[in-house]
Structure 1
């Protein structure tokens, strides 16, 4: 029996290439969704950091002033409700155009 030891045949190459494409086709959408989720989580963490910094500053200085800052292209707005005697919220926009809000209350 004659054995072909010179390399892969065309059908073997096509089957291997098809398997690689199927694996990529399954995992690339998952990775894109995962990366979008990580970006959303990072924006929320940054909002919580900004909220914490604003509340700590207000406790120390007794001045309840609204602030805003931009980090990595996202604008975060710290807003004090009812003149500082209630709730502090950080508002930021999602990539979809919707606003998200993280708040902490006085009690």
Structure 2
């Protein structure tokens, strides 16, 4: 019958390797998109945290002062749109050159 039954032949190895490459080729773009979306959401969460801290400070001190900070290489700037209007925004760079803004406005 068959004399060599101790291992895989070259065609079997090539087929298995090509299957692994096809699976990786399908999943890597998804994983790269998922990782970039996760970074965007992390930046937005940090902006919302900074906005909350700034609004809480303004409520306690009654001072509407602009602040800025850098966290993990991203610069966040808290800006009060007009003195005492109750509208505050945090602007941050999305690392694509354009800025994103998260705002909150007091009703009443």
TM range (shorter): over 0.9
Instruction: Deviation per CA, 1:7-45: give whole Å up to 9, x if none.
Output: 000000000000000011111111000000000000000
Secondary structure of the 1:47 match is helix
Q: Spell out the pairing of 1:15-26 with structure 2 (5 A cutoff).
A: 15-26=15-26
Q: Cα RMSD over matched residues? A: 0.9
Name the counterpart of 2:79: 79
Q: Structure 1 CA distance, aligned partners of 2:87 and 2:75?
A: 20
In structure 1, distance between residues paired with 2:3 and 2:26: 36
Q: Which residue of 1 aligns with 2:103?
A: 103
- How high is the TM-score relative to the length of structure 1? 0.96
Q: TM-score, normalised by structure 2?
A: 0.95
Distance 1:101 1:36 in 2: 18
Where do 5+ consecutive residues of structure 1 fail to align?
Answer: none
> What CA distance in whole angstroms lies between the structure 1 residues aligned with 2:25 and 2:70?
36
Cross-structure match for 1:8: 8
Runs of 4+ in 1 over 3 A off after TM superposition: none
Q: Which runs of 5+ in 2 are unaligned?
A: none
